[in-house]
Structure 1
Amino acid sequence: MFKKIIVKIGERGLLFKKGSYVRHLQPGVYRLNPFSGDTIIVLNAAKRFSVPDKEQSLFMHDAKLLEELTVADVQDYEVALHFEDGKFASLLTAGTHAFWNVMKRHTFLRADIRRPEVPEEIDRALLPKLQGYIQTIEVASHEAGVLFYNNVRQRELRPGKYYFWKGPVAVQVRTIDLRQQQLDMTGQEIMTEDKVTLRLNFVCQYRISDPLKALEIKSFEEQMYILLQLVLREYVGTLKLDDLLRMKREIALFVLSRLNEQSERYGVNFLSAGLKDIILPGDIKDIMNTVLLAEKKAQANLITRREETASTRSLLNTAKLMDENGTLYRLKELEFLEKICEKIGTISLTGGGNLLEQLNSLLGARTADKA
């Protein structure tokens, strides 16, 4: 009794005799003698060529079989993007991969992972499907990146998104912030020329102009702080306390100028600098307050004397005018009489005559006495 095996269209058969591969079979009907030790393995020609429990190399000597297979031999340093009829199917790693070409057309795009950056010819739309094989690094719009392969610097990266293979080469990107930054120096103790120890709060703004040079400096911000500290000590140490308090703007201009002399060395542009606060020791502050109070009192006394002198001079001028002009004198008397009347609630008169006559008599008598 023969055993019937049917190989359908879209399938291929592999004939084995006593476990050894003989040849591949096209679609059709095959009858096997159950006592011959022959077996047929039927494979789907739409899927990858794979024989359970058999090494793929056992079949690669069959020229007829190879005509219906597309074989990709991927090296250890490669990956291959596998496309079926032009559409991405999978990513192949090192090894030999065989696919039936009777149902679909198979093509491959190879990449050498010893060159870590994913080449431009690989469509970026495919990269989300390769997440396990690539790493993504982003450089923000306000940053510059510096690319390293195995800790060796390669080049500067502009803002954007970059893709690298996860392979034998370690990839690192260090980013540098290119926005304006601020360096604050708070409570810095410095001694003036006249041996007064005070504390300064100073600030400067800068922007990194050369990221590669900035990366060459270990502990970049600490070294910037020390540079600012040394420049301040250099300048403040040549000034006395009174000069320092008077020359705040000059200090800022000097420090900014000296910092910019070092800008090329550090890869930095210093934009502005300013002295925020001068904090004096307690005893010096008391002395300064005493001096200030004495100065203000002296200024107040001077102003008072000036006002008194001006007032006396004005009275003298008025008296001269009244001596020279009787009518003016009379008007001045009436003015003072009016002011007196405004402050008096009740006026009592003795003797005859009305109020106006008595007042006229009083003022007339005074005028006669003066004459």
Structure 2
Amino acid sequence: MIKTIVIKSDERGLLFHKGSYIHHLKPGTYRYTSWSGNEVIVQEVTRPFAVPGKELALFRHDAELGLELAVVDVQDHEYVLHYEDGRFVSLLGAGSYAYWNVLKKHRFVHIDIRQPELPSDLIAALPQRLLPYCTVIEVANHERGLLHYNHVFQRELAPGKYYFWKHAPVSVQVKMADLRQQQLDLTGQEMMTEDKITLRLNFVCQYQIVSPSKTLEIKGFDEQVYITLQLILREYIGTMKLDDLLRVKQEIGAYVLSRLNEHSDRFGVRFAAAGVKDIILPGEVKDILNTVLLAEKRAQANLITRREETASTRSLLNTAKLMEENSTLYRLKELEYLEKICDRVGSISLTGGGNLLEQLNALVGVKKAGDHS
């Protein structure tokens, strides 16, 4: 019995004899007897080369087949980008692959994923189908990223977008540092002055990261800055009495700021400002201070009153001396008082001869004589 096998132009045949591969068959018609032990597997050249149950290595000795196959071996540390006629088709992981290089031209780009960051030329034309294989990390304008491979620092990342291969043999970590000005609040801190008075202090300082690599190398950065600030304040408050502290509280910020900046290089930051928000005294101390303040204000008021009384008495004495020495001045003073009296009186009745001025003069004269008597 004769078997007839027709292989079309878009097909190729693989001839096996008793299960062993012999050679490949090009388009044409082939006939075999049923008892010859021959078998032909027909493959479409538009599909990847694959024979179920057979390894690719079995066919590599066929030089003629090799001329029509594009074979690529992908190592464990590689990805391979597969292109057909210049268009991206797929990403190949570790293994061996073969494609019929007949109707389409195949091209392969090997990428060593031991360097997990995608090459810049690939990013420029990154196919969307590659995105599921990538980890995308974005660094904002106010940030800097510190890139680590297997926990070893590599470089600082400027603002932008970065792509890294997933499942690479190298682990990728990016630590972000915020370069904006930040604020640290120290609230409700109980501290004791030199004269053993316990008070509570609210303090604030502002800082900005200038060296992200130093800052991110410090474990518990915020906590360490907090403790440093706390110790500086305790040292300062503990050497001052309460009265002195309240008198120079505006200077505390400047002192603490200068001390903090001694640690700037260690922390990788620049301390921009510092200051006291509140000093909260115990209730008893506050009552005592209020009593002292009230007594001081009363004493100041009494002193001002005595000064005013003394000045008024001295002014009256000077006026009396001048009027005693100058009769005209005395007369003018009388007329001034008479004017003030007339302003407060509704009407004045004068009788007798003479004009109005003479009658008023007589009235003042009588009053003067009465005063002297």
> Does TM, normalized by the shorter one, top 0.5?
yes
> Structure 1 residues 327-336 or 69-78, which shifts more?
327-336
Distance 2:127 2:115 in 1: 17
**Residues 349 and 267 of structure 1: is their aligned pair in 2 closer, same or farther, counting only changes over 3 Å?**
same
**CA distance change for structure 1 residues 349 and 99 in 2, over 3 Å: closer, same or farther?**
same
**1:71 corresponding residue in structure 2:** 71
Q: Deviations over 1:19-69 (max 9, x none)?
A: 554433333445566776655544332332234554433333321111011
Instruction: Give the partner amino acid of 1:312.
Output: T
Mapped partners of 1:86, 1:146: distance in 2: 36
Q: What letter matches 2:81 in structure 1? A: L
Q: How far 1:102 sits from its partner (Å)?
A: 1.8
Change (3 A) 1:161 1:45: same
Compare 61-70 and 359-368 and name the one that shifted more: 359-368
Opposite residue 217 of structure 1, the aligned amino acid is I
Residues 116-170 of structure 1 deviation map (CA, whole Å, 9 limit, x = unaligned): 2223342343164222322122222222222222333333333332222222222
Q: 2:46–2:103: 8 Å Cα contact kept in structure 1?
A: yes
Label 1:354 to 1:4 Cα distance change in 2 as closer, same or farther (>3 A): farther
User: Structure 1 residue 262 and structure 2 residue 263: aligned?
Assistant: yes
Aligned residue number for residue 211 of structure 1: 212
Bigger CA drift: 36-45 or 86-95? Answer: 36-45
Tell me the residue number matched to 2:154.
154
CA contact (8 A) 2:88 2:127 kept: no
Aligned pairs for 1:184-199 within 5 A: 184-199=185-200
Q: Does 2:360 align with 1:329?
A: no
Distance (Å, rounded) in 2 between the aligned partners of 1:9 and 1:328: 142
Q: Distance in 2 between matches of 1:360 and 1:244?
A: 70
Matched residue, 2:184: 183
Deviation at 1:355, TM superposition (A): 6.3
Letter in 2 for 1:45: V
Structure 1 pair 127/277, CA: closer, same or farther in 2 (3 Å)? farther
AA partner of residue 291 (structure 2):
T
Q: Distance in 2 between matches of 1:239 and 1:231?
A: 13
Question: Structure 1: how far apart are the matches of 2:3 and 2:350?
Answer: 161
Q: Is the 8 A contact 2:79 2:93 kept in 1?
A: yes
> Structure 1: which amino acid aligns with 2:203?
F
CA deviation vs aligned residue, 1:78-136 (integer Å, no higher than 9, x gap)? 11111222222211111111112222222211112222222334234316422232212
Number of equivalent positions: 371
SS at match of 1:221: helix
Per the alignment, do residues 359 and 55 of structure 1 end up closer, same or farther by CA in structure 2, a change over 3 Å counting? same
User: Counterpart amino acid of 2:309?
Assistant: E
Q: Note the C-alpha offset of 1:283.
A: 1.1
2:243 corresponds to: 242
Correspondence for 2:171: 170
Q: Which whole-Å CA distance do the structure 1 matches of 2:193 and 2:161 have between them?
A: 52
- Structure 2 residue identity aligned to 1:178: L
Q: d(CA) in 2 for partners of 1:274 and 1:161? A: 39
Label 1:80 to 1:360 Cα distance change in 2 as closer, same or farther (>3 A).
Answer: same
Q: Which residue of 2 aligns with 1:319?
A: 320
Residues 214-273 of structure 1: per-residue CA shift (max 9 Å, x gap): 233221211111111111111211111111111223322222222222222222322222
Distance 1:6 1:123 in 2: 46
- Aligned amino acid, residue 328 of structure 1: L
TM-score by length of 1: 0.88
Which residue of structure 1 aligns with residue 123 of structure 2?
Answer: 123
Q: Which residue in 1 is equivalent to 2:14? A: 14
> CA distance change for structure 1 residues 368 and 95 in 2, over 3 Å: closer, same or farther?
same
The DSSP-based 3-state class of the residue aligned with 2:125 is helix
Separation in structure 1 between the aligned mates of residue 302 and residue 27 of structure 2, nearest angstrom: 123
Q: Which position in structure 1 is the counterpart of 2:86?
A: 86
Instruction: Report the Cα distance in structure 2 between the residues aligned to 1:294 and 1:301, rounded to whole angstroms.
Output: 11
Q: Is the 8 A contact 2:201 2:276 kept in 1?
A: yes
Q: Distance in 2 between matches of 1:49 and 1:326?
A: 139
Aligned equivalents of 1:356 and 1:30: distance in 2?
160
Displacement after TM superposition at 1:327 (Å): 3.8
Q: Are the structure 2 counterparts of residues 127 and 188 from structure 1 closer, same or farther at C-alpha, using a change threshold of 3 Å?
A: farther
Give the structure 1 partner of residue 307 of structure 2.
Answer: 306
Query: What TM-score results when the alignment is normalised by the length of structure 2?
Result: 0.87
Deviates more, 1:309-318 or 1:34-43: 34-43
In structure 1, the gaps of 5 or more residues are none
Instruction: Provide the residue aligned with 1:56 in structure 2.
Output: 56
Residue 131 of structure 1 aligns to a residue whose secondary structure is helix
Indicate the larger mover: 97-106 or 28-37.
28-37
Which amino acid counterpart does residue 180 of structure 1 have in structure 2? Q
- Which runs of structure 2 are paired with 1:270-309 in the superposition (5 Å)? 270-309=271-310
Aligned counterpart, 1:101: 101
SS of structure 2 residue aligned to 1:238:
coil
Rate the CA distance shift 1:327–1:128 in 2: closer, same or farther, 3 A: farther
The farther-off stretch of 255-264 and 323-332 is 323-332
Secondary structure of the residue aligned to 2:317 is helix
Distance in 2 separating the partners of 1:311 and 1:108: 109
Uncovered stretches (5+) of structure 2, i.e. residues with no partner: none
For residues 174-220 of structure 1, give each alpha carbon's deviation from its aligned partner in whole angstroms, at most 9, with x where no partner exists: 22222222221111111111111111111212222332332332212
